[in-house]
C-alpha cells in the first residue's frame, strides 16, 4: 500500500554530505579522562544534584533528580569518583558556564544494579511513563523535551497517529540514518512500547528517500513483527522535512495551528533514537547514558558515527576523529543550518548533541542591504515574511515583529541560505526572540516590585493610622485616670484624716496616768527615788559634757 | 410650538437621565492613563526622576508636568513605549537624571553590618530582611537595584553588584552590519 503524501510550503533541496560519516559502522568511543555532566541538558528546569563531591558512583546511577514536571534526571555515564560540582562551559551559543557534575572515570565502567522490565505490556501507561521519566530520557532529535510528557496524551484524548521521525533533513548529520540501518528491529520494538503508552491507532516510521538501505532493513524487520498498524513511509528529501510540523504536514496533510501541539490534533512525534533509548530501559534497565553522535566535516580524517558516553568533552571526540585543528573554522554542535558554534572545544557532549561538525574555514562575504527580492518568503516553511521580520527586528520594534508571528519561526535557516545579500536573518530573529523574553521577564519582575512597593505604602499608611489611634487612645485614657484621681484624692484625704483622728483619740484615751505608780510599797518608792536621782545626775553630766564639744565643733 | 418645546424638554430629560445613570454605572476609578504609564515604568522606585517613586512620576507624566525621558533604569525602551502610548515624540534620555546602565542588585557585607535597620526603612520594596542589632540581608530576587539603601548605611556595608547573564537570561546580540555603512561611506 502506498501512502499518499502531501507537501509543506517552501523548503530547500540541499546537498546531503551524509556519506562522509556513513562509510563506517558506529564505533563505541573510548572513555575520556573526565566526564562533565551539565545539570541542564533538556528543555525545562535544571536537575538537582543528589551526590556530593568525593562520592563514588556507578554507571547508570542517578546523580541528579528532576526538579519539576518538565525536567529530567541525570545519570552517571561511567563509574568513577565525583571530583567536582561546579560551573563549567556547556554547549550553548552563549559560551557561558553552568553547573555541571564532574566525574573522574575509574576505568572499570561498572554498571549499577539494573532492573529491566520483563513485560511492558503488563504495565499500565502511567507506570511506563514513570520508568521513562526516571531513566532521564529526553527527545534525542535535538530539542531535548522530556519524552515521558510526550507519551502522555492527557485525559480524553485519543492518539490517532504516532510518528517515528527518521527524517534527518539537515546536511552532514547521519546518526539517525545509521541507527536505522544498524538497529531496525530494535527501533520497531521501541516503537511498540511507545504505542503501548499512547494507545495509538496507527504508527508511521518516516524516513527520507535518500536512505534506501534503512528502508529495506526496516521493512524486513517489520515482516517479523506482523503488525499491520505500522507503516514505513519514505518521504522526499527536502529540508526541513524533519521538523515536527513539516513532517506532520507531509504525512497527514494536517497543519498544527498556532499555539497548539501536535497532540491536540491526535498526533505524537518522536525521534527514532528516542525509541532505542526507551527500549534500552525496558530491555536491560539502562537509563540514558550514551547516544550516537556524528563526527563529520572535511577537517576530520576519520569522520564517522560514535556511540559516546554523555559528558565526554568535544575535544576528546575530535581527537578520535583525527581532527585537523589548523584547517578548521568554528566547531559546530548540530548541523550547518540550525547548529551553533561552540566557543570552546572542552564543552561536553550532552543528551541533545546529535552532531559535531567542523568545516574548513570559509571566507564569508559581508552582509549587504536587503534588496526586497522576496526569495526568503518563497522558501520559508512556516510561511512567514522573513523580510518584514528582519526589518522589525532590526528596528527593535518587538510588538510589530510579534504581529508578524516571529514565534512561529522554527529557525531553520532557509531564508538566510537563499538570501542574495547574505544577511544573517536567523540571528536577527533569535535576537528578537531573546529580547522579547527578556522584556517579559523584566515585566514580571517589575510587576512584583510594584506589588511590593504598593504593599509597603499601604503598610506604612496603616502603621501611621494605628499610631495615631494609639496616641488618641492614650490621651483619652490619661484624661480618664486624672479625673478619677481628683475624686480619689478627696476620699483618700478623708480616710487619712479619719485615721489621724482615730490615732489621736486613741492617744488621748491612752494619755491617762500610769496604773502602776499608785499603791507602791515603800521599798519600791525608794528604788524609784534612787533611780530618779541617778537619772538627774546623769542628765546634768551629759549637758556639761556636750556643751564644750559643740563649742569646739564650731 | 408648545409641542416642540415639550418634546425637546422631554428628550433632554430622558437623555440627561441616561447620561446620569451611565456616569454612575460606568464610573472609572482613578486616571486609567496613570495605570498604563505606571505599567510601563520599571518599578525600581529609585526616585532618580525626582519623583518619590514610579507612580508619582506616572501621575506627573499624565498631568503633563514631566517629560518622558527622566527614567534612567528604563532607558530607551521605556521612552519608546511611553512615546507610543502617549503619542508624543521620542526623546533622548535626560542624562541629568542618570545613565542607563546594566542591571544591578545590592548586597550587604554581613561581617560589617551593625543591624541599625536604616536600610530596611529606606528600601522601597521591602527587599531587606533583618531586625535591630541583628544582621541584615538583601533578598536578591526582590531587589530592584534602586540603591536607595546605600546613603543611609552608617558603616558603608552595602555594595552594588552587577547582575551577570546566565544561561537562562542570556540574549543573542543584534548582528553587526556596520560593514554596509562603511561601504556606503567609501
Cβ atoms of A334 and A354 closer than 8 Å = yes
Contact A230, A222 (CB under 8 A): yes
Assess B102–A contact: CB distance below 8 Å, yes or no.
Answer: no
Adjacent-strand bridge partners of A104:
A81
DSSP single-letter state for residue B30: S
Interface test with A, best of B30, B129, B177 (most A CBs within 10 A): B177
Other C-beta atoms closer than 10 Å to the C-beta of A465 total: 10
**Contact (CB<8Å) A431/B144:** no
Contact call for A449 and B170, based on CB within 8 A? no
Measured at the alpha carbon of residue A441, what is the angle toward residues A436 and A444, in degrees to the nearest 5? 125
Question: Which of A394, A439, A453 has its CB closest to that of B125?
Answer: A453
For residue A291, give the 3-state DSSP assignment: strand
Can you give the C-alpha Rg of chain B in angstroms? 26
**Under a CB-based contact definition with an 8 Å cutoff, are residues A85 and A60 in contact?**
no
Per-residue pLDDT tens digits for A458-468 = 999 999 999 99
State whether ipTM is beyond 0.85: no
Q: How many cross-chain Cβ pairs, A to B, lie less than 8 Å apart? A: 84
The answer to whether the beta carbons of residues B157 and B112 sit under 8 Å apart is yes
Contact A11, A379 (CB under 8 A): yes
CB contact under 8 A, A435 and B171: yes
Domain positions in chain A: 1-19+125-288, 368-471
Within 103-122 of B, beta carbons closer than 8 Å to A belong to: none
With contact defined as beta carbons under 8 Å apart, do A252 and A224 qualify?
no
Q: Is B176 on the interface with A (CB under 8 A)?
A: no
Looking at the partner chain, which of B126, B171, B175 has a beta carbon nearest the beta carbon of A434?
Answer: B171
Q: Is cis: bond before A240, omega within 30 of 0?
A: yes
Query: Among A427, A314, A425, A296, which Cα is nearest to A360's?
Result: A296
Tell me whether residues B175 and A446 touch, CB distance under 8 A.
Answer: no
Over the stretch A138-177, which tens digit does the pLDDT of each residue have? Answer: 999 878 899 999 999 888 888 999 999 999 889 999 999 9
From the list A277, A252, A278, the residue with the least C-alpha distance to A265 is A252
pLDDT for the residue A511: 66
Which residues in chain A have their CB less than 8 angstroms from residue B56's CB?
Answer: none
CA distance A181 to chain B (A): 37
- Is the CB of B167 less than 8 angstroms away from the CB of A367? no
**Cα(B156)–Cα(B151) distance, integer angstroms:** 8
Question: Taking CA atoms, what residue in B is nearest to A423?
Answer: B177
CB contact under 8 Å between A453 and B77, yes or no, is no
Nearest chain A CA: its distance from B129 CA (Å)? 14
Cβ-nearest to B144 among A98, A437, A449: A449
Could you report the average pLDDT of every consecutive run of 10 residues in chain A (554 residues)? 81 89 91 94 91 93 92 94 93 91 92 89 90 93 89 87 91 92 92 91 91 90 84 92 92 90 92 94 93 91 92 93 81 91 91 91 82 94 94 89 93 93 92 93 91 92 95 92 79 89 87 66 87 89 61 43
Between CA A255 and CA A9 the distance in angstroms is 11
Task: Work out the minimum CA distance from B26 to partner chain A, whole angstroms.
Answer: 26
Contact yes or no for A352/A42 (Cβ under 8 A): yes
Measured between beta carbons, the chain B residues lying within 8 angstroms of A394 are 174
| 3-class secondary structure, A494 | helix
Q: Is B172 on the interface with A (CB under 8 A)?
A: yes
Task: Output the pLDDT for position A78.
Answer: 93
User: With an 8 Å Cβ cutoff, is B127 touching chain A?
Assistant: yes
CB contact under 8 A, B170 and A92: yes
What distance in Å separates the CA atoms of residue A115 and residue A467, rounded to the nearest whole number? 67
Write down the pLDDT at residue A206. Answer: 93
**Beta pairing partners, A206:** A165, A233
- Out of 3.40.630.30, 3.20.20.140, 3.40.50.11540, 3.40.630.10, which CATH number does the structure's domain A1-19+125-288 have? 3.40.50.11540
| Residue A468: HSE in the Cβ half-sphere, 13 Å Cα cutoff | 6
pLDDT at B184: 42
CB contact under 8 A, B172 and A427: yes
- The pLDDT value given to residue B7: 96
Three-class SS state of B124: coil
Residues of chain A with a CB closer than 8 angstroms to some CB in chain B: 40, 90, 92-94, 96, 98, 366-369, 394, 396, 423-424, 427-428, 430-431, 433-435, 437-439, 441-442, 445-450, 452-453, 455-456, 459
Report the b/e string of A347-356 with b at 16+ CB within 10 A: bbbbbbbbbb
> Chain B interface, mutation test: which of A89, A94, A415, most B Cβ atoms within 10 Å?
A94
Q: Are residues B172 and A433, on separate chains, in Cβ contact within 8 Å?
A: yes
In this complex, the residue of B126, B173, B177 whose CB is nearest that of residue A367 is: B177
* Cβ proximity of B110 and B39 under 8 Å: no
For residue A326, count other CB atoms closer than 10 A to its CB.
Answer: 7
Task: Please report the pLDDT score of residue A308 as a whole number.
Answer: 94
Closest-CA distance, A218 to chain B, in angstroms, reads: 40
* Structural domains of chain B sorted by starting position, each given as residue range(s) with its CATH number in brackets: 32-97 (1.10.15.40), 102-166 (3.30.70.20)
Instruction: Give percent of chain A above pLDDT 70.
Output: 96
Q: CA-CA distance, A153 to A146, in Å (whole number)? A: 14
Q: Nearest Cβ partner of A369 from B44, B174, B180?
A: B180
* 3 state DSSP class of A195: helix
Contact between B172 and A424 using a beta-carbon 8 Å cutoff: no
Give the span between the Cα atoms of A385 and A387, in whole angstroms.
Answer: 6
Find all residues with CB under 8 Å of A501, minimum gap 6, and list them: none
Q: Which residues contact A450 (CB under 8 A, 6 or more apart)?
A: B38, B43, B54
Residue A549 pLDDT: 46
B124 interfaces chain A, CB cutoff of 8 Å? yes
The answer to whether the Cβ–Cβ distance between A449 and B179 falls below 8 Å is: no
Which residues of chain A neighbour B167 with C-beta distances below 8 Å?
40, 90, 92, 94, 96, 98
Phi, psi at B151, each rounded to 5°: -60, -40
Query: Which parts of chain B register pLDDT below 70?
Result: 177-186
- Give chain B's count of helices (H) and strands (E): 6, 4
How far does A78 lie from chain B, in Å, by closest CA?
26
Map residue A271 onto helix, strand or coil: strand
**CA–CA separation, B39 vs B47, rounded Å?**
16
Q: Which residues of B touch A94 (CB under 8 A)?
A: 165, 167, 170
User: How near does any CA of chain A get to the CA of B21, in Å?
Assistant: 33
**Nearest Cβ partner of A450 from B43, B166, B171?**
B43
In Å, how far are A486, A489, A494, A512 from A500, measured between CA atoms? Answer: 21, 16, 10, 19
Closest Cβ–Cβ partner in B45, B179, B183 for A453: B45
Chain B residue closest to A427 (CA)? B175
Record: contact A92-B167, CB cut-off 8 A: yes
Residue A140, CB half-sphere, CA atoms under 13 Å: how many? 28
Cβ–Cβ below 8 Å for B174 and A441: no
Give dist(CA A322, CA A158) in Å, integer.
Answer: 49
Amino acid at each position: 500500500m502506498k501512502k499518499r503524501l502531501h507537501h509543506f510550503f517552501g523548503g530547500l533541496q540541499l546537498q546531503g554530505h551524509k556519506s562522509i560519516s556513513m562509510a563506517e559502522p558506529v564505533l563505541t568511543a573510548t572513555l575520556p579522562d573526565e566526564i562533565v555532566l551539565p545539570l541542564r541538558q533538556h528543555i525545562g528546569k535544571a536537575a538537582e544534584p543528589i551526590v556530593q563531591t568525593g562520592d563514588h558512583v556507578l554507571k547508570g546511577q542517578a546523580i541528579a533528580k528532576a526538579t519539576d514536571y518538565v525536567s529530567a534526571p541525570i545519570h552517571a555515564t561511567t563509574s568513577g569518583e565525583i571530583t567536582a560540582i561546579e560551573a563549567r562551559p556547556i554547549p550553548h551559543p552563549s559560551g557561558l558556564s553552568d553547573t555541571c557534575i564532574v566525574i573522574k572515570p575509574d576505568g572499570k565502567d561498572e554498571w549499577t544494579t539494573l532492573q529491566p522490565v520483563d513485560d511492558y505490556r503488563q504495565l499500565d501507561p502511567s507506570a511506563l511513563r514513570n520508568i521513562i521519566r526516571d531513566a532521564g530520557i529526553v527527545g534525542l532529535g535535538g530539542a531535548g523535551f522530556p519524552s515521558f510528557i510526550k507519551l502522555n496524551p492527557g485525559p480524553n484524548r485519543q492518539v490517532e497517529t504516532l510518528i517515528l521521525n527518521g527524517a534527518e533533513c539537515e546536511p552532514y548529520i547521519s546518526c539517525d540514518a545509521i541507527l536505522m540501518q544498524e538497529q531496525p528491529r530494535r527501533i520497531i520494538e521501541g516503537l511498540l512500547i511507545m504505542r503501548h503508552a499512547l494507545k495509538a491507532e496507527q504508527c508511521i516510521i518516516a524516513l527520507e528517500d535518500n536512505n534506501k538501505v534503512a528502508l529495506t532493513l526496516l521493512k524486513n524487520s517489520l515482516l517479523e513483527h506482523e503488525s499491520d498498524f505500522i507503516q514505513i513511509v519514505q518521504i522526499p528529501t527536502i529540508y526541513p522535512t524533519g521538523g515536527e510540523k513539516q513532517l506532520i504536514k507531509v504525512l497527514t496533510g494536517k497543519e498544527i495551528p498556532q499555539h497548539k501541539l501536535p497532540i491536540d490534533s491526535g498526533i505524537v512525534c518522536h525521534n527514532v533514537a528516542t525509541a532505542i533509548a526507551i527500549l534500552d530501559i525496558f530491555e536491560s534497565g539502562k537509563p540514558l547514558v550514551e547516544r550516537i553522535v556524528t563526527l563529520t566535516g572535511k577537517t576530520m580524517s576519520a569522520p564517522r558515527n560514535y556511540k559516546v558516553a554523555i559528558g565526554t568533552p568535544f575535544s576528546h571526540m575530535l581527537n578520535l576523529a583525527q581532527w585537523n585543528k589548523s584547517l578548521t573554522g568554528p566547531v559546530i554542535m548540530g548541523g550547518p543550518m540550525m547548529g551553533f558554534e561552540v566557543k570552546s572545544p572542552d564543552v561536553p557532549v550532552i543528551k541533545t548533541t546529535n552532531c559535531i561538525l567542523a568545516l574548513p574555514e570559509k571566507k564569508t562575504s559581508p552582509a549587504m542591504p536587503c534588496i526586497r527580492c522576496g526569495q526568503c518568503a518563497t522558501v520559508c516553511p512556516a510561511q512567514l515574511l522573513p523580510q518584514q521580520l528582519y526589518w522589525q527586528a532590526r528596528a527593535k520594534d518587538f510588538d510589530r515583529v510579534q504581529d508578524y508571528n516571529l514565534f512561529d519561526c522554527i529557525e531553520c535557516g532557509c531564508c538566510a541560505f537563499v538570501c542574495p545579500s547574505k544577511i544573517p536573518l536567523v540571528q536577527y530573529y533569535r535576537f528578537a526572540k531573546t529580547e522579547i523574553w527578556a522584556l517579559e521577564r523584566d515585566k514580571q519582575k517589575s510587576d512584583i516590585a510594584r506589588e511590593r512597593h504598593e504593599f509597603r505604602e499601604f503598610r506604612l499608611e496603616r502603621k501611621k493610622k494605628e499610631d495615631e489611634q494609639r496616641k488618641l487612645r492614650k490621651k483619652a485614657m490619661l484624661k480618664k485616670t486624672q479625673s478619677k484621681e481628683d475624686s480619689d484624692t478627696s476620699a483618700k484625704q478623708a480616710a487619712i484624716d479619719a485615721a489621724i483622728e482615730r490615732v489621736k483619740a486613741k492617744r488621748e484615751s491612752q494619755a491617762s496616768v500610769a496604773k502602776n505608780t499608785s499603791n507602791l510599797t515603800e521599798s519600791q518608792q525608794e528604788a524609784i527615788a534612787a533611780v530618779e536621782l541617778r537619772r538627774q545626775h546623769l542628765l546634768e553630766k551629759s549637758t556639761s559634757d556636750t556643751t564644750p564639744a559643740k563649742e569646739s565643733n564650731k | 410650538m408648545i409641542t416642540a418645546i415639550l418634546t425637546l424638554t422631554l428628550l433632554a430629560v430622558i437623555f440627561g437621565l441616561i447620561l446620569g445613570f451611565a456616569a454612575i454605572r460606568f464610573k472609572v476609578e482613578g486616571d486609567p492613563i496613570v495605570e498604563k504609564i505606571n505599567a510601563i515604568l520599571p518599578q525600581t522606585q529609585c526616585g532618580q526622576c525626582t519623583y518619590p517613586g514610579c507612580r508619582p512620576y506616572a501621575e506627573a507624566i499624565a498631568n503633563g508636568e514631566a517629560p518622558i525621558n527622566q527614567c534612567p533604569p528604563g532607558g530607551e525602551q521605556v521612552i519608546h513605549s511611553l512615546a507610543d502610548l502617549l503619542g508624543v515624540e521620542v526623546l533622548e534620555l535626560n542624562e541629568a537624571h542618570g545613565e542607563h546602565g546594566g542591571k544591578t542588585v545590592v548586597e550587604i557585607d554581613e561581617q560589617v553590618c551593625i543591624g541599625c535597620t536604616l536600610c530596611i526603612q529606606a528600601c522601597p520594596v521591602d527587599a531587606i530582611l533583618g531586625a535591630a542589632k541583628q544582621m541584615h540581608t538583601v533578598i536578591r530576587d526582590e531587589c530592584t537595584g534602586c540603591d536607595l539603601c546605600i546613603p543611609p548605611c552608617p558603616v558603608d556595608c552595602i555594595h552594588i553588584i552587577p547582575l551577570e547573564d546566565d544561561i537562562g537570561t542570556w540574549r543573542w546580540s543584534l548582528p553587526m552590519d556596520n560593514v554596509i555603512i562603511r561601504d556606503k561611506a567609501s
